[in-house]
Amino acid sequence: MSNTKDIDALIEMMAKLPGLGPRSARRAVLHMIKKRALLMSPLSEALQTVATTARECVNCGNIGTSDICDICQNPKRATGEICVVEDVADLWAMERSQVFKGRYHVLGGTLSALDAVGPEELRIPKLLDRVEADGISEVILALNATIDGQTTAHYIAGELEKRSVTVTSLAQGVPIGGELDYLDDGTISAALKARKAI
């Protein structure tokens, strides 16, 4: 590849990141080398900072810089609503929409018989504890509309049935800006079934 061990090692590390391959890693590294004073040292320091400070919230599983994350610490968000998501990336996506004002619970994946992922592996017991302890009135299941996601949602809904808590899930239908011609049959069928009066 190039002629120096250090640069090759850096490219190799970058190439292993999701979304990057050898070609884009080479491109990114070359770009950084050309602007090394401006880009490389700050990026190196930012990585070091996050590597030392990032941790999982013991309460909800979100990633932050303290044992209890900013959302769980925020008294304004104690609305009695918990939004259950599969992954931190989903939590971030929900936060970008700026609509949900309650707290979250990150499962860390979905139930999967094939991969031997049971409720214990998924922070589901912790969710049930929180529902009991924090006086939660509504659990919103914002799991992905995949088979595994929906199986997990179904399981959690079953577990919460015995408790006095409303369980809801995200509406399914046509995405904003979506064109019918480009939507799959399942989405159109779900949107039709859940049609509402204007």
* Whether 47 contacts 38, CB under 8 Å: no
| Nearest to a second copy of 51, 176 (CB atom) | 51
Instruction: Candidates 15, 94, 95, 117: give the one binding a second copy (CB under 8 A).
Output: 95
Q: CA dist 157 to 91, 129, 154, 176, Å? A: 19, 15, 5, 27
Q: CA dist 32 to 130, 134, 139, Å? A: 45, 48, 45
Instruction: Candidates 67, 70, 129, 134: give the one binding a second copy (CB under 8 A).
Output: 70
Q: How far is CA 142 from the centre of its chain?
A: 10
| Nearest to a second copy of 50, 192 (CB atom) | 50
* Whether 51 contacts 108, CB under 8 Å: no
- To the nearest whole angstrom, how small is the minimum distance from the Cβ of residue 23 to a second copy? 8
When asked if residue 2 is in the footprint of a second copy (CB under 8 A), the reply is: yes
Q: Which stretch binds a second copy (CB under 8 A): 25-33, 132-140, 174-182, 184-192?
A: 25-33
In angstroms and rounded to an integer, the radius of gyration of the C-alpha atoms of the chain is: 21
Contacting positions for a second copy (CB under 8 A): 1-4, 6-7, 9-10, 13-14, 16-20, 24, 26-33, 36-37, 39-51, 53-54, 62-65, 69-71, 87-89, 92, 95-96
